[in-house]
Amino acid sequence: MRAIVLALAMAGMLATGPSHAGSKSIDAAVASSARSDESRALDESRQPAAVLEFSGIESGDVVADFMAGGGYYTELIADVVGKNGRVYAVNPQGFHDAEAWAPISRRHSNIRTMPVDPRQMMIAPGSVDSVFTHLVFHDLYWESEKFRFPRLDPEMMLANWFAGVKSGGSVIVVDHVGPAGDPREVTAKLHRIDPARVIADMTKAGFVLEAQSDMLRRSTDDQSLNVFDPSIRGKTDRFVMKFRRP
């Protein structure tokens, strides 16, 4: 656990599988009265209980929530892993709102926020049981001068995940379904990614696809639209995958 803290500080500083966390702990996390109204409003489209059950994350695990955003899943995972587990909320420093994160951190002593330069979003070797990614895998191919988000090396990032996840550990990927094509062009235009690209990238990195789920698939999504288009925002077609590190 300490290794990932030091590494990040130095750096810039399934058909659905069986439940391992247990439905009761997941349901309790989702039902927690401490969650904000803003988070609760997203539950219908995100189906967090089903996603967490699919993930296999269990009590005592150490999890890296990669590009955790505002902490929607971070606090849920923190409740699931419990006091003996830990969640590292890895965020690009330019997208990390310390004030918004403060109440989440106060409620969960097992969360460590890690705002770093995007190129230094690294995980120390063998330090986590799982990497959790929600609607951000495509950002490995994103770059934006406006938002000061530099061009990343996806192959290098995934090699780091492979080194960072313990043997037998997992990577959960939830993202917006996108068309085939150059992933940088697709991401720049639509903020989506082709599921086949994710499988190819993860397989090349050494991971094995263990399970997939259609729980968030939506046939009404117009995949030619950017995911931030008001007509489809929050209602996009999404894939859910679980990869295992041998």
Distance set, CA 72 to CA 38, 47, 153, 223 (Å): 9, 12, 26, 25
pLDDT digits (tens, 9 = 90+) for 32-71: 999 999 999 999 999 999 999 999 999 999 999 999 999 9
Tally the domains of the chain.
Answer: 1
Which pLDDT score, from 0 to 100, does residue 24 have?
84
78: containing domain: 2-244
CATH of the domain at 54: 3.40.50.150
The structure tokens listed for 134 are 């929600």
pLDDT digits (tens, 9 = 90+) for 154-201: 999 999 999 999 999 999 999 999 999 999 999 999 999 999 999 999
Q: In the numeric block, which tokens belong to residue 239?
A: 């894939």
Residues 6+ apart with CB under 8 A from 54: 14, 16, 17, 172, 211, 213, 215, 240, 242
| 20 confidence band (pLDDT: 50, 70, 90) | very low
Mean pLDDT of the chain: 92
Query: Distance between CA 196 and CA 19 in Å, rounded?
Result: 25
